[in-house]
């Protein structure tokens, strides 16, 4: 996908599955919104193809619009529109028998039905925008930055609504630049960097490729010798060391023996999968040694 001479998205390929939350993760300008908008039919691709529910988002837009729910990054609601009215309006447009008052209650705005969009807080605006996506009773929902500018309680509510939506069999595709949000919501993750996908798979599988043992030590030791002994690379972060690619108990045992034999102590030992934030940093900054 290109804007003039700028390539917005290149060689992107991923699938989103029914009943799962697929998070498109990447820094601002990485191509997340362009990709979502191509799926929604707002943008055309210069090469390749996009299929949503087996349909071409541009050619079959009329059919597709009846089956997808959309939450735009900037809302798309008139400032003087009232919560109750705008949800009822969208319920009528989709005609799926969704009851406006129930959707409003689901997103926790039942005390704000008479309020206009411009009077809502940032978090409430996001929840109203999410409510409009729900009025479609969607088979696929595209949510662009749904928790952006939302407070902690509001985030909990939005996450719960998203999980509920996926549990009905809806394929939820969510774009965010917030790593913590992605880690809390995602079943599957697609990581974008500089207009390309750098990782794609279930959150579990992506994290399982990044097991590590972290520790500190008050006594200097030969890092290269330890790495050779364990047969795993070790990263020296100054304050902290990371044995990369394993969290295996047997390796931890060997490591403890080696450190003890060489008179080095072990402090703050932690073993497990890397946090998504660390994986993301590694993938988008050229990797670590």
Partner 1 sequence: MRVLFAQLRSEIRVIARNAEQLLVIIGIPAALLIFFSQVDVLPTNGQTPVDFLLPGIFALAIMSTAMVSLGIATGFERSYSVLKRLGATPLGTGRLVLAKSLAVVLIEILQLVVLYSIAVMLGKEANIANVLVLIAAIFAGTLAFAGIGLLMAGTLRAEINLAAQNGLYLLLLLLGGVIFPLDELPEPLQNVGKMLPSGALADVLRGAITDTAAYGQNSWIVLACWALLAPLTATKFFRWN
Residues interacting with partner 1, by CB under 8 A? Answer: 40-42, 62, 65-66, 68, 70, 72, 74-81, 85, 89-90, 92-95, 132, 136
CB of 58 to partner 1, least distance (A): 12
CB of 127 to partner 1, least distance (A): 15
- Do 274 and 204 form a contact (C-beta atoms < 8 A)? no
Count of CB atoms within 10 A of residue 261's CB? 9
Q: How far apart are the first and last CA of the chain?
A: 33
Whose Cβ is closer to partner 1: residue 70's or residue 206's? 70
Whose Cβ is closer to partner 1: residue 94's or residue 192's? 94
Whose Cβ is closer to partner 1: residue 93's or residue 225's? 93
Write b or e for each residue in 139-150: b if 16 or more Cβ atoms lie within 10 A of its Cβ, otherwise e: bbbbbbbbbeeb
Whose Cβ is closer to partner 1: residue 81's or residue 223's? 81
CA-to-CA distance for 40 and 24, rounded, in angstroms? Answer: 14
- The H or E element containing residue 269 is strand 267-273
Q: Which residue from 281, 258, 285, 286 is spatially nearest to 210, judged by alpha carbons?
A: 281
- Do 16 and 188 form a contact (C-beta atoms < 8 A)? yes
Write b or e for each residue in 37-68: b if 16 or more Cβ atoms lie within 10 A of its Cβ, otherwise e: bbbbbebebeeeebebeebebeeeeeebbebb
CB of 80 to partner 1, least distance (A): 5
CB of 128 to partner 1, least distance (A): 11
Whose Cβ is closer to partner 1: residue 89's or residue 159's? 89
| CA distance to 3, 9, 10, 32, 118, per residue, from 6 (Å) | 5, 9, 11, 15, 35
Whose Cβ is closer to partner 1: residue 65's or residue 113's? 65
> Rounded to the nearest 5 degrees, what angle is found at the Cα of 22, between the Cα atoms of 21 and 26?
135
Whose Cβ is closer to partner 1: residue 41's or residue 154's? 41
CB of 164 to partner 1, least distance (A): 21
CB of 89 to partner 1, least distance (A): 5
CB of 141 to partner 1, least distance (A): 11
């Amino acid at each position: 996908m290109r804007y003039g001479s700028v390539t917005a998205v290149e060689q992107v390929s991923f699938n989103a599955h029914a009943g799962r939350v697929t998070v498109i993760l990447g820094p601002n300008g990485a191509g997340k919104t362009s990709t979502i908008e191509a799926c929604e039919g707002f943008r055309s691709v210069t090469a390749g193809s996009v299929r949503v529910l087996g349909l071409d988002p541009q050619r079959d837009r009329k059919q597709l619009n009846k089956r997808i729910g959309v939450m735009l990054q900037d809302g798309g609601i008139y400032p003087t529109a009232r919560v109750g009215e705008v949800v009822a309006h969208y319920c009528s447009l989709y005609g799926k028998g969704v009851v406006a008052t129930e959707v409003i209650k689901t997103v926790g705005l039942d005390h704000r039905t008479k309020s206009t969009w411009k009077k809502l807080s940032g978090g409430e605006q996001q929840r109203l925008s999410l409510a409009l996506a729900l009025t479609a009773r969607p088979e696929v929902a595209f949510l662009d930055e749904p928790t952006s500018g939302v407070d902690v309680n509001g985030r909990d509510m939005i996450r719960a609504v998203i999980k509920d939506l996926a549990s009905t069999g809806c394929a939820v595709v969510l774009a965010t630049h917030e790593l913590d949000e992605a880690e809390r919501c995602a079943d599957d993750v697609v990581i974008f960097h500089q207009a390309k996908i750098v990782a794609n798979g279930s959150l579990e599988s992506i994290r399982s490729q990044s097991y590590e043992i972290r520790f500190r030590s008050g006594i200097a030791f030969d890092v290269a010798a330890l790495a050779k002994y364990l047969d795993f690379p070790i990263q020296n972060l100054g304050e902290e060391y990371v044995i990369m690619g394993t969290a295996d108990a047997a390796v931890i045992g060997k490591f403890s023996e080696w450190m003890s034999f060489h008179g080095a102590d072990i402090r703050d030992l932690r073993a497990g999968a890397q946090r998504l934030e660390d994986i993301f940093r590694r993938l988008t900054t050229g990797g670590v040694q």
